[in-house]
Structure 1
Amino acid sequence: MAMDALTDLLDGPRARGAFMLRAMLDPPWSLRIEDEAPLCLTAVVKGTAWVVPDDGDALRLGPGDIAITRGPDHYTVADDRATPPQMVIHPGNRCTTLYGEPLAEKMALGVRSWGNSADGETVMLIGTYHMRGEITQRLLAALPPLLVLPADAWDNALVAFLGQEIVKDDPGQEAVLDRLLDLLLISSLRAWFNRPGANAPGWFKAHGDPVVGPALQLLHDDMAHPWTVASLAAKTGVSRAALAQRFGKLVGEPPMSYLTGLRLAQAADMLRETDSTLEAVARKVGYSNAFALSTAFKRVRGLSPQEYRERATA
């Protein structure tokens, strides 16, 4: 089965012991989020909430709305834009007052439930990916720091199902919640990318083009193939010049530049997430040997694959 660019991109989320919480809050409340997690999904079940980035416009969430925030930027979630922060969420999901006093036990309301009221006016389901290896760099790079999917933009029963499962403490529940979070994130992002007016990447907008769309699918389906502009043009039934011009206009960069970025992003994910040798990584993504991959990797990313792997591990 051929792989389109969006399928390739959304194949990345792999939650492993993700932080999952049902927050139940009565106003006034305000959470300062400084956990620097790579990605967090917040679904409002009841009431309203404001997401206030340090840079950018504040966005209001209502029942059924989903907000996806990309780290490591800090932001505030509150009942009102004017409510000053009362609590701080630190790395590792440690919650304190502004003065550092722990709040985890004080505000515990049952299994994966937390807040200042068991009958909170606002109820939110929160899922946080802790480790960058759980979310590919290609996906993170394709997303804005904050996006909101309105409730009327899709028809999906996953939020309600997650709300039922998040408070259970059955055997294997962590694995169930991890997979539900992955599925909800993928479904949300697919709906967001498909919305009219969404600030989607150029390659996504080009996916429906009769020439560039098939070219993108070929590249994602087999990035290790020794593609050239000429061979790609032959496969799509146009001239080399026509493909290069159309691809550059719609995607924003030449075909081979796009392919290089795709290969190096995949290589970076493999270096960070697996213990594969550099030679194996090189051949998997389309380079003849480790030296060729190292040369391209250092030219584009400014450090060698080994240095990148060591930093990612640290």
Structure 2
Amino acid sequence: MDVLSDVIAVMRTGRPRSARVAWHAPWAQRFAPVPGSAGFQVILQGPCWLVRPDTGPVPLAVGDVVFRPHGRGHTLADNPATPPTAPCDPDDPRSLARHTTDTVSTPASADVPTTVTLCGAYQLGPARPHPLLHDLPELVHLPAHLGRHPELRATVDLLATELEAPRLGRDAIVPALLDTLLVHILRTWLDEQPARGATTGWAAALHDPATHTALQAMHRDPARPWTVATLAAEAGLSRASFSRRFTALVGQPPLTYLTWWRMTTAAHLLRESDAPLHAIAARAGYTSEFAFARAFKRHHGTAPGKYRRSE
């Protein structure tokens, strides 16, 4: 798998949740913080405002996509001055039940402005999150611009259609579309960073050919006995130049990241599969279960077997 696909596969867990929601003015809905999750809002109809406690309100228009990667609380409103209602918990589908949208096309009064949104959340793995997630800002706002981000817009349209008029196969297609939406949100954000002058961090690392090649090699075959020299050869640089560049962009030396990734992958396999311990150890580059267990406990604070039972 490529680096971004690997990162999403490891950091995502459970099933994503979503709803198509109609809001009739005046309205202001507070969304509670949900640690260990990332939320999104897509504006399908009518303008609204995103209100956060730490900064000024953000106007949103039809087609805008908002991604909140760190589970922080926020408010959506028809007007920043509208008092918000009690917090809505995205983990509780009943908290949105009063808003769900069988009556979107026929609101109570034609004179009442209606806003329609797609809202949802992704559950993130309990293990330490990937550093790519740390690089994301509190708010990723992708405004709708004609002709820009066609794949993102197509995914939003498909998801909106499925949620508006449920049909056979919905339970299979909606989670797949939500995962596709997450990929396109992250792709779009990563693609925009070089134009904004990003010179360090994961966006810069994935756009740097040498560092990207080394990361791809690690993710393609994490069990291989990589050294700085063999990774530098993959990247086409001298050992010293590669080590400096990788560390400056990614924020940690190559072998430190490799060990972190091996232990993160192992934790994911312990959570999500019933693979035997020796197979997981081999996937993480260890020929000895004992050596793997020592390394895993050093990184996660608990033995692999106990970690699996607790999860």
Same fold (TM over 0.5): yes
Shorter-chain TM-score: what band? 0.7 to 0.9
- After superposition, give the CA deviation of every residue in 1:98-139 in whole Å (9 maximum; x if it has no partner): xxxxx73x544429x79986875211112323x435999436
Q: Is the Cα–Cα contact under 8 Å of residues 87 and 95 in structure 1 kept in the other structure?
A: no
The structural deviation recorded for 1:285 is 2.2
- After superposition, give the CA deviation of every residue in 1:75-94 in whole Å (9 maximum; x if it has no partner): 22222333222132136325
Q: Is the Cα–Cα contact under 8 Å of residues 133 and 273 in structure 1 kept in the other structure?
A: no
- After superposition, give the CA deviation of every residue in 1:141-166 in whole Å (9 maximum; x if it has no partner): 45334311221252232222222211
The structural deviation recorded for 1:53 is 3.6
Counterpart for residue 303 of structure 1: 302
Counterpart for residue 164 of structure 2: 167
- After superposition, give the CA deviation of every residue in 1:146-191 in whole Å (9 maximum; x if it has no partner): 3112212522322222222112232221211111111122112111
Question: In 1, distance between residues paired with 2:231 and 2:265?
Answer: 20
- RMSD of aligned C-alpha atoms? 3.3
The structural deviation recorded for 1:12 is 5.2
Q: Is the Cα–Cα contact under 8 Å of residues 89 and 95 in structure 1 kept in the other structure?
A: no
Distance change (3 Å), C-alpha of 1:276 and 1:34? farther
Distance change (3 Å), C-alpha of 1:240 and 1:59? same
- After superposition, give the CA deviation of every residue in 1:30-79 in whole Å (9 maximum; x if it has no partner): 11212626122211112223333444554332111111123543222222
Tell me, yes or no, if structure 1 residue 148 matches structure 2 residue 138: no
Distance change (3 Å), C-alpha of 1:272 and 1:223? same
Find the residue that maps to 2:50 and give its secondary structure. Answer: strand
Q: Which amino acid aligns with 2:20?
A: R
Question: In 2, distance between residues paired with 1:272 and 1:256?
Answer: 24
Q: Which amino acid aligns with 1:247?
A: F
Q: Is the Cα–Cα contact under 8 Å of residues 108 and 115 in structure 1 kept in the other structure?
A: no
Q: Which amino acid aligns with 1:32?
A: R
Question: In 2, distance between residues paired with 1:171 and 1:15?
Answer: 25
Counterpart for residue 120 of structure 2: 127
The structural deviation recorded for 1:194 is 0.7
For structure 1, the residue ranges without an aligned partner over 5 or more in a row are 97-102
The structural deviation recorded for 1:213 is 2.6
Aligned residues: 301
Question: In 2, distance between residues paired with 1:310 and 1:116?
Answer: 50
TM score, norm. by length of structure 1: 0.81
Find the residue that maps to 1:261 and give its secondary structure. Answer: helix
Counterpart for residue 293 of structure 1: 292
Question: In 2, distance between residues paired with 1:135 and 1:191?
Answer: 26
- After superposition, give the CA deviation of every residue in 1:183-235 in whole Å (9 maximum; x if it has no partner): 12211211111113287972331233343232122112111111011222233
Deviates further, 113-122 or 173-182: 113-122
Counterpart for residue 227 of structure 1: 226
Counterpart for residue 28 of structure 2: 30
Find the residue that maps to 2:82 and give its secondary structure. Answer: coil
Counterpart for residue 278 of structure 1: 277
Find the residue that maps to 1:90 and give its secondary structure. Answer: coil
Question: In 1, distance between residues paired with 2:287 and 2:56?
Answer: 46
Tell me, yes or no, if structure 1 residue 183 matches structure 2 residue 180: yes
Question: In 2, distance between residues paired with 1:246 and 1:5?
Answer: 18
Question: In 1, distance between residues paired with 2:106 and 2:270?
Answer: 39
Counterpart for residue 82 of structure 2: 83
Aligned counterparts, 1:194-209, within 5 A: 194-195=191-192, 196-197=195-196, 202-209=201-208
Q: Which amino acid aligns with 2:116?
A: V
Find the residue that maps to 1:92 and give its secondary structure. Answer: coil
Counterpart for residue 266 of structure 2: 267
Question: In 2, distance between residues paired with 1:29 and 1:115?
Answer: 17
Distance change (3 Å), C-alpha of 1:57 and 1:264? farther
Question: In 2, distance between residues paired with 1:57 and 1:290?
Answer: 53
Deviates further, 265-274 or 7-16: 7-16
The structural deviation recorded for 1:239 is 2.3
Counterpart for residue 21 of structure 1: 19
Question: In 2, distance between residues paired with 1:62 and 1:199?
Answer: 27
The structural deviation recorded for 1:19 is 2.7
Identical aligned pairs, as a percentage? Answer: 36
